[in-house]
C-alpha cells in the first residue's frame, strides 16, 4: 500500500470525497484523506494523502492556495455559483478597468469573511449545506482570512476573470459576491480552478484517467514522499537508540536541538519517522509518528 501524497487534478462535477475514494480504490490504499476540499463545480489541485501520510494532512491544510475564477456580474444565486437557483438580478454599472482594479486592491491583506450557507461547515453535527437545502439560514461568525494577491486577468461583457492567492478558509464564492457588491451589483462564480496549493506550486498534477492508465500498465503513479511538504520544519536525525525511545513515546535529549522550539521532522538515518516537538532546551518528544 502506498504512503505519500498524490496531487490530483480534480475534474468538474465530482466531489472531493468522490475523487478521494476513486484514488483510494485504484491504489488499494487502506487510508486516504484530502487536504482542502473543492466544490464539485471546481477543478484543480487536490492533494491526497495516502495511508500514513494522512497524519500530516493538517500541515497542508494551513497552506496558501492559488485560484483562478470567473464572476458573472448582475446575477446572484443561492449557492454563489452557477449551479444554484437565481435569487437576485441587478443592473451592472459601466466599469472602467481602473475602477475594478481599485476595488480588488481593497480586498488585499487580512480581512474577515462570513462563510456561505452552502458549505461543509457543521452546526450541531449537520453540514450547513444540508440546512440550506431545507431552507434554513443560521448565523455564521465571520472568520479571519487573508488575500495575498488578487488581480484582474481579463473581462468579457459582464464577466470578470480573476486570480487570487489566499489563506486557508477563504471561500471564493463569497469573495466573488463581495467583489460584485463593491462594484455596485451582484454576481456569482461560473468557473473555478485551483491552480496550486503551497508548497506544491511547481509540481505536476495527475488526472484520474492517467492514474487508471498507470495502474493498468502495472506502474505506480507519481506519489510524493510524506515529508515532501514539511521542508520548512527543522530536521532531527536520530540514532537507533534514540529512535527506539521516540517510538515508545519517550523524549530524547539532543544538543543539536537546544535552540529549536516547535514542530520538527524526525528521521532514523534517512527514514522519515514522523513529527516531533522540540522544547527549545534540547528535548524532543514524539508528536505524530508513522507506523513502521
Most confident listed range (60-64, 222-226, 251-255) = 222-226
Of the pLDDT bands very low, low, confident and very high (cuts 50, 70, 90), residue 258 is: low
**CA-wise closest residue to 71 among 196, 185, 195:** 185
CA–CA dist 241, 261 (Å, integer)? 22
SS3 label, residue 143: strand
pLDDT, average across residues 71-94: 96
Mark whether 39 is an active-site residue.
Answer: yes
For the chain, what is the mean pLDDT? 92
* Grid cell listed for 132: 440550506
Whether 94 shows a pLDDT value over 70: the answer reads yes
Give Cβ neighbours of residue 217 (< 8 Å, ≥ 6 apart): none
Give pLDDT tens digits for 178-233: 999 999 999 999 999 999 999 999 999 999 999 999 988 988 899 999 999 999 99
In whole angstroms, how far apart are CA 202 and each of 196, 198, 205, 282? Answer: 8, 9, 9, 35
Q: Around Cβ 225, how many Cβ atoms within 10 Å? A: 12
pLDDT at 292 (0 to 100) = 65
User: pLDDT tens across 99-118, in order?
Assistant: 999 999 999 999 999 988 78
* Phi, psi of 108, rounded to the nearest 5 degrees: -70, 150
Inter-CA distances, 287 with 28, 68, 130, 228, 276, Å? 27, 36, 35, 18, 5
In terms of Cα–Cα distance, which of 191, 203, 165 is closest to 45? 203
- Between 76-90, 157-171, 250-264, the lowest mean confidence (pLDDT) is in 250-264
Q: Which of 39, 51, 81, 227 is catalytic?
A: 39
Amino acid at each position: 500500500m502506498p504512503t505519500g501524497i498524490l496531487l490530483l487534478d480534480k475534474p468538474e462535477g465530482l466531489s472531493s470525497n468522490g475523487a478521494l475514494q476513486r484514488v483510494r480504490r485504484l491504489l488499494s490504499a487502506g487510508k486516504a484523506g484530502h487536504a482542502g476540499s473543492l466544490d464539485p463545480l471546481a477543478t484543480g489541485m487536490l492533494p491526497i494523502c495516502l495511508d500514513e501520510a494522512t497524519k500530516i494532512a493538517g500541515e497542508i491544510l494551513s497552506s496558501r492556495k492559488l485560484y483562478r475564477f470567473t464572476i458573472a456580474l448582475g446575477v446572484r444565486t443561492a449557492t454563489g455559483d452557477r449551479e444554484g437557483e437565481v435569487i437576485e438580478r441587478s443592473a451592472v454599472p459601466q466599469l472602467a478597468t481602473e475602477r475594478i482594479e481599485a476595488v480588488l486592491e481593497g480586498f488585499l491583506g487580512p480581512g474577515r469573511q462570513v462563510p456561505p450557507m452552502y458549505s461543509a461547515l457543521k452546526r450541531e453535527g449537520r453540514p450547513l449545506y444540508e440546512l440550506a437545502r431545507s431552507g434554513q439560514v443560521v448565523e455564521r461568525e465571520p472568520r479571519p482570512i487573508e488575500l495575498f494577491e488578487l488581480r484582474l486577468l481579463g473581462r468579457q461583457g459582464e464577466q470578470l476573470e480573476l486570480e487570487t492567492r489566499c489563506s486557508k478558509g477563504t471561500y471564493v464564492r463569497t469573495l466573488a459576491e463581495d467583489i460584485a457588491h463593491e462594484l455596485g451589483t451582484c454576481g456569482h462564480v461560473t468557473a473555478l480552478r485551483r491552480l496550486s496549493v503551497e508548497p506544491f506550486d511547481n509540481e505536476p498534477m495527475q488526472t484520474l484517467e492517467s492514474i487508471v492508465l498507470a495502474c493498468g500498465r502495472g506502474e505506480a503513479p507519481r506519489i510524493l514522499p510524506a515529508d515532501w511538504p514539511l521542508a520548512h520544519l527543522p530536521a532531527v536525525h536520530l540514532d537507533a537508540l534514540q529512535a527506539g525511545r521516540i517510538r515508545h513515546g519517550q523524549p530524547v535529549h539532543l544538543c543539536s536541538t537546544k535552540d529549536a522550539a516547535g514542530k520538527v521532522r524526525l528521521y532514523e538515518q534517512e527514514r522519515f519517522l514522523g513529527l516531533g516537538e522540540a522544547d527549545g532546551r534540547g528535548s524532543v518528544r514524539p508528536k505524530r509518528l508513522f507506523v513502521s
